[in-house]
Amino acid sequence: MNSFVFKRLLSVVPVVLVVLVTVFLLLHIGPGDPAAMIAGENATREQIEEIRQRLMLDRPLLEQLWLYLGNVASLNFGESVYSGFPVMSLILQRVEPTAILAIYTMVLSILISIPMGVWAAWRAGTTLDRALVIASVIGFSVPVFVIGYALVEIFALRLRWFPVQGYKSLADGFLACIRSLTLPAITLAFLFSALVARIARATMLEVLSEDYIRTARAKGARNRRVLIVHALKNIGVPVVTVIGTSFAALLGGVVITESVFNIPGMGRLTVDAILTRDYPVVQGVLISFSFVLIAINLLVDLSYALFDPRVRQ
CA 214 to chain centroid: 38
Residue pLDDT, tens place only, 1-25: 567 677 777 888 888 888 888 888 8
Q: Is residue 79 part of a domain?
A: no
pLDDT tens per residue across span 102-156: 888 888 888 888 888 888 887 777 887 788 888 877 777 778 778 888 888 888 8
On whether residue 232 sits in a domain, the answer given is yes
The pLDDT score that the predictor gives to residue 205 is 82
Based on the fold, state whether residues 61 and 104 are members of the same structural domain.
Answer: no
H helix intervals, the chain: 2-25, 34-39, 45-54, 61-73, 87-122, 127-141, 144-151, 174-208, 211-218, 223-225, 236-245, 247-260, 266-275, 279-307
> Residue 109 maps to which CATH number?
1.10.3720.10
Q: Last residue of a domain, which of 26, 50, 73?
A: 73
Whole-number pLDDT of residue 20: 87
One domain for residues 49 and 126: no
Q: Are residues 46 and 97 in the same domain?
A: no
Domain span at residue 259? 87-312
What is the per-residue pLDDT for 33? 65
**How much is the pLDDT for 112?**
86
Nearby residues of 183 by Cβ (< 8 Å), 6 or more positions away = 148, 151, 152, 155, 156, 162, 261
Note the residue count of the chain. Answer: 313
Whether the model pTM is above 0.75: yes
Give the percent of the chain with pLDDT over 70: 92
Q: Is 274 within the bounds of a domain?
A: yes
**45: pLDDT strictly greater than 80:** no
DSSP 281-299: HHHHHHHHHHHHHHHHHHH
Whether 121 maps to a domain, the answer reads yes
pLDDT at 307: 67
| Same structural domain, 18 and 106 | no
pLDDT digits (tens, 9 = 90+) for 246-301: 777 777 778 778 888 888 888 888 888 888 778 888 888 888 888 888 888 888 77
pLDDT number for residue 32:
62
In a domain, 81, yes or no: no
Residues 63 and 95 in one domain: no
- Express each pLDDT in 90-115 by its tens digit: 888 888 888 888 888 888 888 888 88
Inter-residue contact 182 to 173 (CB < 8 Å): no
How far apart, in whole angstroms, are the C-alpha atoms of residue 24 and residue 13?
17
Nearest alpha-carbon partner for 293 in 112, 285, 231, 44: 285
Which is nearest to 235 in space by CA: 283, 277, 200?
Answer: 200
Domain final residue, candidates 25, 48, 73: 73
What is the rounded distance in angstroms from the CA atom of residue 36 to the CA atom of residue 41? 8
3-class SS letters over 70-102 = HHHHCCCCCECCCCCCEHHHHHHHHHHHHHHHH
- Whether 78 is in a domain gets the answer no
Name the amino acid, one letter, at 17.
Answer: L
Residue 149 domain flag: yes
Query: What per-residue confidence (pLDDT) applies to 2?
Result: 67
Distance CA 116, CA 188 (A): 17
One domain for residues 226 and 289:
yes
Structural domain total, the chain:
2
- Of the pLDDT bands very low, low, confident and very high (cuts 50, 70, 90), residue 189 is confident
Confidence class of residue 85 from pLDDT cuts 50, 70 and 90?
confident
